[in-house]
Amino acid sequence: MEKTITYFEHRGRANSERVLELVNRRAAELGITEVVVPSTGGSTGLTAVETLVGLQVVVVTHSTGFSEPGRQEIPPDVIDDLHSRGAKVLTTTHAFGGVGRSVRKKFGTWGIEELMAQTLKRFGEGVKVAVEVSIMAADAGLVSPHREIIACGGTGHGLDTALVLRPTHAQDFFDLEVLEIICKPRTP
């Protein structure tokens, strides 16, 4: 099998529209119906829902308290808007963060989860994010580890990466299968 991978010259938000075009195309080719996207402030989630018509979009937010204690970065009215457009919205602890991040912040040492995240970042921040949000969505029961999905990620804000993968639960991380790279920045 030969397939084309799109490599972006730059990372981040400038690639979002093209990522979603590529996701639409590959989802149609493979018969994939579920797409997981990260969204920090909500705009990426809204754009994904508007663009990925006919696909089930799962929007994964930063955990509440990520930027400051008790604060959710996506306003409640945006979450309501996402729900009204048929998206599933997930706010939970990051698969590669959580308690491990607390250990690093408190004791200045790295936990296993963050080492795994840093390893995935060698392929690019967006690859790490796509893998992480797929695990989070699987753990929440919003996608099945028995079906291929498309998971997106980005660097900073917006999207610059899309992967076809078979997600898994965090406890079964080594069963996760990245099947295809649809697109990513050329430099991590």
pLDDT at 97 over 90: no
pLDDT mean over 128-135: 98
What is the per-residue pLDDT for 1? Answer: 86
What is the per-residue pLDDT for 12? Answer: 93
pLDDT at 147 over 80: yes
Residue 68 CB partners (closer than 8 Å, separation 6+): none
Helix/strand/coil for 157: coil
pLDDT at 100 over 90: no
CATH class of the 12-170 domain in this structure: alpha beta
Q: How far is residue 151's CA from residue 135's CA, in Å, rounded to a whole number?
A: 10
Break the chain into its structural domains and give their ranges.
Answer: 12-170
107-133: b or e for each residue (b if 16 or more CB lie within 10 Å)? eeeebebbebbeebbebbbbbbbbbbb
Q: Evaluate whether 126 touches 143 at the Cβ level (below 8 Å).
A: no
pTM of the model: 0.94
Helix/strand/coil for 176: coil
pLDDT mean over 52-67: 95
What is the per-residue pLDDT for 103? Answer: 85
Q: Please, how many CA atoms are within 13 Å of residue 126, restricted to the half-sphere of its CB?
A: 32
Which tens digit of pLDDT belongs to each residue from 171-188?
999 999 999 999 999 987
The mean of the pLDDT values for the chain is 95
Per-residue pLDDT band for 11 (boundaries 50, 70, 90) equals very high
Q: Which of 6-15, 39-48, 61-70, 164-173 has the lowest mean pLDDT?
A: 61-70
Contacts of 51-58 with CB under 8 Å at 24 or more apart are 51/17, 51/20, 51/21, 51/24, 52/20, 52/23, 52/24, 52/27, 55/24, 55/27, 56/86, 56/88, 57/86, 57/87, 57/88, 58/34, 58/87, 58/88, 58/89, 58/90, 58/133, 58/137, 58/142, 58/143
Quote the percentage of the chain above a pLDDT of 90. Answer: 87
Per-residue pLDDT band for 111 (boundaries 50, 70, 90) equals confident
